[in-house]
A = this chain, B = another copy of it.
Amino acid sequence: MASNDTATPPHAAGSMEVPLKTSLAPPEYNGSSGGGGFKKHALLDVLLRVLLFATSLIGIIVMVTSEQTKRIPVAPGISVTRTAKFSNSPAYINFVATLSVAGLYSIITGLVSGLALMKPGGISTKLQFHFVMLDALLLGIVAASTGAAGGVGYIGLKGNSHSRWNKICHTYGSYCFHFASSILLSLISSITLLLLVWLSIYVLSKKIARR
């Protein structure tokens, strides 16, 4: 019975199509041919990487240009000039370094993803596997850095009476506005990385469901 069946390849191809059409996975999820579903997700991947690049670049620029100088009165008739800048706090130096890494990473992976989009075969499963590993690692790093900057920024905004840490944002308004914008952009970067991880896992699981 087995030899009878293997002698009829058109029948075998027909039997393979039946579960594909009944399953939820679209048949265009084929690594060897660029169909609609594959192209759509690859394009979304590239767009998310461009968004990651844009948010990290703008985040760095906003943070680096946050310098603000104020004259602060210390006694009647006497005032000192104090400059608030991001490099005063280790949390913000780390923040800028992390966003730089995220920006650089997004350029490299965005270009590779873009080039893979051009090719008819699309991005290989192995490359996608390495990308999602690195995406997850970067997600952890960027999220931790955003959290640290946010935690320090919150003390700057609200102060902490228990530790006698005074708030500084009422004095350095523009400085704090820059910080808040930069942290928000970094948060968008983190969310973009999470979406990239989710997208890759979705595409990988679709490839399994297509079996």
Contact = CB atoms under 8 A, between A and B. Distances in A.
Interface in A80-116: 84, 88-91
A193 B201 CA distance: 16
Interface SS, A side: helix
Interface stretch (A47-55, A56-64, A164-172): A164-172
Contact of A148 (B147, B163, B200): B147
Copies in the complex: 2
Contact of A204 (B88, B163, B164, B204): B204
Contacts of A136: 136, 139, 194, 197-198, 201
A163 B88 contact: yes
Contact of A156 (B139, B163, B202): B163
A182 to B, nearest CB: 14
Interface of A: 1-2, 5-6, 8, 11-12, 14-15, 18, 84, 88-91, 125-126, 129, 132-133, 136-137, 139-141, 143-152, 154-156, 158, 160, 162-166, 168, 190, 193-194, 197-198, 200-202, 204-205, 207-209, 211
